[in-house]
């Protein structure tokens, strides 16, 4: 079994149905399968063999799916570059994977011209919507290639893709995922996250498909669901697309749908077709989630995972979230859900001993979705492994009903007066204040305590609050050792290209004169 079979089966079942569309054109399942075959055969004609490493640099679009499907069917190892990253980051990523081919959008001709001279392994370039003396035009490449299916049989253990850690310091690691890993991801989506999806659905990719949104592609292809795209996320444009294209499902980072909820407040929008907003990639405060559900209804579902064990390890359903909001059960609403059907989770102590339920520790996972390993870094991979389990770097606990509660990232601990303090609890309290839009709690240097807690706050538009008011708010809601000692107001917080707040970048501002020990 391999991922390519999913599209072939979908093409057989839904040959004339629309598989993908944008404002200019539509592609049926039959056409998508044929175009993927043509692209794969074109790469064979270039001399690229199965397991060759290839990459894509483009905004969300039909060609993104064609490239993804082709790589799976023909057994290439693909990397999807985030179109919002810098040229230097693209060079690092391509050199890391030693890519031999790059398919890119015409918007990136200038950047790729700079990139190709800095990546010695890069032999071939194909341009979507344009051409140069050093890059062939995408449609011309497809028109010259055969439409025959792949002859090479792709194995479950073959490598499928390389993703990149989203660290904020140093160069990223390459995360190697196999066909087996991705089949497990699709299986979990079909059984759990999108168990009710069918041909009446429409999936919108508004977040970058190089990240979590792209992980929805194969599960929805398998169900015969048409997919549409936005090149870049914009809250107003996404709301317009919901109405225009009868969108039913989407993946968004919390910062993205929070902007949409705020933008739509008090305004009349037709969201009658919207069934599911799957979110993840960053924590969301309980007050913010409760407010969104009360405004938009029980459309929100979430999960927790990481690329080392993609793309979900737990699932918190719309029904569970809606029930928690209705019951005012903030404890349950703070959960990350229960394990996916084909995944196991537990907590472990520092020595790797599995802990009883209810005890806080590092979250560990196991299942067919756990990565092959870090690219060319066997020692780093071995550090994560405890027998069948893999460490995640997240701290949490699991209650008697199997619900996971994330405490924080192990590396984000604030060390104050000999105590380990997790910033997420502090941030939850501050998010409940009506004047707070976004907040990060970090440890800053202190000669007496080692670190003290400092809150960096983005206020809501039109809100009035001062440091004293927020400190008083925390004094009534947190134990003394977990209260912020100072508050700073800023216009915005640094975020990565996927919308995740860069805690380390915030914290680094206060540690330039000395080195933090964690």
The domain locations on the chain are: 3-7+23-153, 414-508
How would you classify the pairing of strands 159-164 and 174-178?
antiparallel
- Of 201-205, 348-352, 431-435, highest mean pLDDT: 201-205
Q: pLDDT band for 489, please (50, 70, 90 cuts).
A: very high
pLDDT at 515 over 60: no
Question: pLDDT tens across 368-389, in order?
Answer: 999 999 999 999 999 999 999 9
DSSP string covering 417-459, please?
A: TTEEE-HHHHHHHHHTSTTEEEEEEEEEEETTTEEEEEEEEEE
Q: pLDDT band for 167, please (50, 70, 90 cuts).
A: very low
Q: What is the pLDDT of residue 518?
A: 32
Would you state the structure tokens that stand for residue 488, as one six-digit string? 């700073």
Q: pLDDT band for 170, please (50, 70, 90 cuts).
A: low
Q: What is the pLDDT of residue 448?
A: 67
Whole-angstrom distance, CA of residue 130 vs CA of residue 450:
57
Is 414-508 CATH 3.40.50.2300?
no
List helix spans (H) across 334-448. 378-384, 423-431
Q: 3-7+23-153: which CATH topology?
A: Rossmann fold (3.40.50)
List helix spans (H) across 277-409. 286-296, 318-326, 330-333, 378-384
Whole-angstrom distance, CA of residue 265 vs CA of residue 277:
17
Question: pLDDT tens across 15-53, in order?
Answer: 999 999 999 999 999 999 999 999 999 999 999 999 999
CA dihedral 249, 250, 255, 257 (to 10 degrees): -30
pLDDT at 179 over 70: yes
> Residues 396-411: what's their mean pLDDT?
87
Q: How far apart, in Å, do the first and last CA atoms of the chain sit? A: 43
**3-state per-residue secondary structure call for 54-99:** EEEECCCCHHHHHHHHHHHHHCCEEEEECCCCCHHHHHHHHHHHCC
Cβ atoms 307, 184 nearer than 8 A: no
User: To which residue do tokens 């809606």 refer?
Assistant: 322
Q: What is the pLDDT of residue 316?
A: 96
Q: Within 13 Å of residue 262, how many CA atoms lie on the same side as its CB?
A: 14
Please state, as a whole number, how many other Cβ atoms lie within 10 Å of the Cβ of residue 263: 14
Would you state the structure tokens that stand for residue 146, as one six-digit string? 């055969």
DSSP 8-state symbol, 192: I
Question: pLDDT tens across 201-245, in order?
Answer: 999 999 999 999 999 999 999 999 999 999 989 999 999 999 999
Cβ atoms 55, 97 nearer than 8 A: yes
Question: pLDDT tens across 448-470, in order?
Answer: 677 889 999 999 888 887 899 99
Whole-angstrom distance, CA of residue 216 vs CA of residue 319:
20
Cβ atoms 21, 176 nearer than 8 A: no
Q: What is the pLDDT of residue 420?
A: 66
């Amino acid at each position: 079994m391999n991922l390519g079979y999913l599209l072939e089966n979908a093409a057989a079942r839904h040959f004339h149905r629309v598989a993908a569309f944008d404002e200019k054109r539509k592609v049926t399942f039959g056409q998508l399968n044929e175009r993927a075959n043509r692209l794969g055969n074109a790469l064979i004609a270039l001399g690229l063999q199965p397991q060759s490493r290839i990459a894509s640099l483009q905004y969300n679009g039909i060609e993104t799916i064609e490239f993804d499907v082709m790589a799976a069917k023909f057994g290439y190892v693909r990397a999807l570059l985030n179109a919002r990253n810098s040229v230097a980051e693209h060079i690092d990523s391509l050199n890391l994977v030693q890519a031999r081919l790059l398919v890119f959008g015409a918007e990136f001709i200038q950047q790729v011209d700079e990139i190709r001279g800095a990546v010695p392994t890069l032999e071939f370039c194909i341009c979507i919507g344009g051409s140069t003396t050093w890059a062939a035009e995408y449609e011309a490449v497809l028109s010259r290639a055969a439409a025959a299916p792949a002859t090479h049989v792709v194995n479950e253990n073959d490598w499928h893709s390389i993703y990149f850690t989203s660290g904020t310091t140093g160069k990223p690691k390459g995360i190697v995922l196999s066909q087996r890993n991705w089949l497990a991801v699709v299986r979990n989506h079909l059984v759990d996250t999108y168990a009710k999806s069918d041909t009446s659905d429409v999936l919108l990719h508004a977040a970058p498909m190089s990240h979590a949104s792209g992980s929805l592609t194969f599960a929805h292809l398998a169900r015969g669901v048409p997919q549409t795209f936005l090149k870049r996320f914009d809250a107003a444009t996404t709301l317009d697309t919901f109405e225009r294209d009868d969108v039913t499902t989407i993946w968004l980072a919390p910062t993205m749908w929070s902007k949409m909820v705020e933008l739509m407040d008090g305004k009349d929008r037709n969201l009658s077709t919207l069934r599911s907003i799957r979110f993840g990639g960053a924590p969301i405060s309980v007050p913010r989630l409760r407010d969104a559900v009360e405004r938009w209804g029980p459309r929100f579902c979430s999960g927790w995972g990481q690329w080392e064990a993609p793309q979900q390890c737990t699932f918190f359903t719309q029904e569970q979230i809606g029930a928690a909001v209705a019951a005012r059960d903030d404890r349950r609403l703070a959960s990350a859900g229960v394990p996916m059907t084909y995944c196991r989770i537990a907590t472990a102590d520092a020595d790797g001993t599995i802990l009883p339920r209810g005890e806080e520790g590092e979250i560990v996972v196991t299942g067919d979705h756990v990565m092959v390993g870090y690219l060319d870094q066997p020692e780093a991979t071995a550090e994560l492994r405890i027998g069948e389990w893999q460490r995640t770097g997240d701290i949490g606990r699991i209650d008697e009903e199997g619900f996971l509660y994330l405490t924080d990232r192990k590396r984000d601990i604030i060390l104050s007066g000999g105590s380990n303090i997790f910033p997420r609890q502090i941030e939850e309290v501050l998010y409940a204040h009506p004047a707070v839009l976004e907040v990060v709690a970090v440890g800053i240097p202190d000669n007496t305590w080692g670190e003290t807690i400092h809150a960096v706050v983005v206020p809501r538009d039109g809100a009035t609050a001062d440091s004293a008011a927020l400190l008083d708010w925390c004094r009534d809601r947190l134990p003394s050792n977990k209260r912020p000692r100072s508050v700073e107001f800023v216009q915005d917080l640094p975020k990565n290209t996927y919308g995740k707040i860069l805690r380390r970048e915030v914290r680094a501002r206060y540690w330039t004169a000395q080195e933090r020990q964690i």
